[in-house]
Chain A
Amino acid sequence: MAYNVIEVRGAVKHFGETHAVDGVDLTVQAGELFGLIGHNGAGKTTLFKMMLGLLPVTRGEIHIDGQPVRGEAFRQVRRSIGYLPESLALYDNLSGLEIMLFFAKLKDADPRSCLPLLGKLGLANAARRRVRGYSKGMRQRLGFAQALLGSPRLLFLDEPTNGLDPQGIREFYQILRELREQGVTAILSSHILAEIQLRVDRLALMRTGKIQALGTVHSLREELNLPLDFQLTLQPGAEEALRQALANQPAASVQFNGTMVHVRCPRERKMTMLNVLAALDNVVLDLHIKEPSLEDVFLGYSDATA
């Protein structure tokens, strides 16, 4: 049975008058890939740091792997945690391999795992080069390799794809998928919503220190009841036929752009709309249904709050 690796109960963090985290309740199950999204300053990084024991909570409780985030027991838990910070700073005067060996010693990880990990992240050829000469993407890969030292069971990844090229992003998520299959739990924050919407099991949307919404991407879409977009390609001159067909669909809004047409309708009218369009098979050349993206969900919640 899956158990809660992360349990946050009523966590509050105040910096003077600023309420960076304001009463957060959150649980993340073992083996889950969990996303944390929100505007800049929403409190994601502060929550990360509190969960890692880097910042003490003003109020509330945080347990990682059943242990409070302080004391000797948490030191043992930390040996099974990998962390990639948002602002990754590494030692420029050391080589990638030396940095890995340094952190391996601190984590009691097998030093023989350093080179294979660097190889896995595509840094085998640069392992003995000083980090001073690394590109931003290479540094990020090295940071991720460092987080994977000691075969962690829990990963905290704050903006993990910062500086990675598309190939690097794909490889990063491929590794994350493999780890997930091995039962590793990962919690990651990102502001690139398109990137994580298909990859996380659940996510939390943070706003002004609070969790505004929590669930799967699908459940958040459902909750907001965002409309669906139908993208159609029409035969030239078929606009009038479409207009007439949609005349009986008052809930639908239509935008023409030449032969490309966007029809937006409430989610519950999806099948009706499909039937209407199916009847126009002689003029509709192509049809694509676009579900609201995570970005739409994010903006939807922002608008709802505003």
Chain B
Amino acid sequence: MAVSDICAGFRLSFPDFSLDIDTRIPARGITAIFGQSGSGKTTLLRCIAGLQQCEWGRLVVRGETWQGERIFLPTHRRPLGYVFQESSLLAHLSAEDNLQYALRRARPVPPRDLYWRVVALMGIGPLLQRYPQQLSGGERQRVAIARALLVSPQLLLMDEPLASLDAARKREILPYLERLRSEFELPILYVSHSIDEVARLADHLLVLDRGRLAASGALAEVLGRLDLPPGLGEDTGVVLEGRVVERDARWGLARVAFAGGELWLRDSGDAPGQHLRVRVLARDVSLALASHGDTSILNRLPATVAEVAPDADSALVLVRLRLEGEEGESGIVARLTRRSADHLQLVSGKKVWAQIKSAAIVK
């Protein structure tokens, strides 16, 4: 086992739910724990935090045992930060005192500039004198995230920190989370039931289904699988990591290169060289046996059929495609009618052209 990993195994059972998971999570970047409600995401996170007693548990974080046969570090002895789903600021303390509460207890004592760094990162300078009930939902979550950072955690646990917010508040907070990801060398476990958030933030993905681990691995790899138990439906799609190679001012487009090829996307103002994450939804990918020039679709890429699998909707199928480019290989997924698949006689190994109607820069 790599010392940089988190080994987490927990078993517990309630009358109507049981959790039985034993897995390894990389202790770097953002690992999303994804699943429908009731799949055990929050329970798993609470087990890791020591907030939930379980029948059997094993937790080794970067070589340090937090929980084992004879060891159970109570929550306050685990060097972690925790952001709860709903606002969890201590109601009798101002925003600043909430931050100081964490800072005073942080071990090891954090560097002096951490406080102002975190306050600036989360943009909460003007809010410090207010009490929790005087803050909006989004402001409260930003203070709560800042507070979790100030205890010098070695691991940050976030339990659907955006779930209690409306769409506008979510858009307000997401950039802060991305800055957090890029500015802190801090492994984050991020519980979510929103594939949009996951696609935008996560590097690694655990999929839970009814208390069991259904899939785990790198984000792109897991999203490229056709057998994910929740059945993502309209949201089925992959994430491609790429970089801007050219901007076309005349048409307002940018050319983005990724391992399996290149895509023209609407220019988001990113400079050439900028790394990007592009989400390609399966419903936006259509297939043709030949390359047609007389189409409105800009992006046509040569691809090989890797797998054809039934969709939850019996009229549709999912097709996993391999894109081979100069720099390597990527996978995307197409969602077609069963009739079209039959018409094109799609089988594994068949060469096709993937037409990508649109793709969104998610980051």
The answer on A and B forming one complex is no
Chain A positions near chain B (C-beta within 8 angstroms): none
Chain B positions near chain A (C-beta within 8 angstroms): none
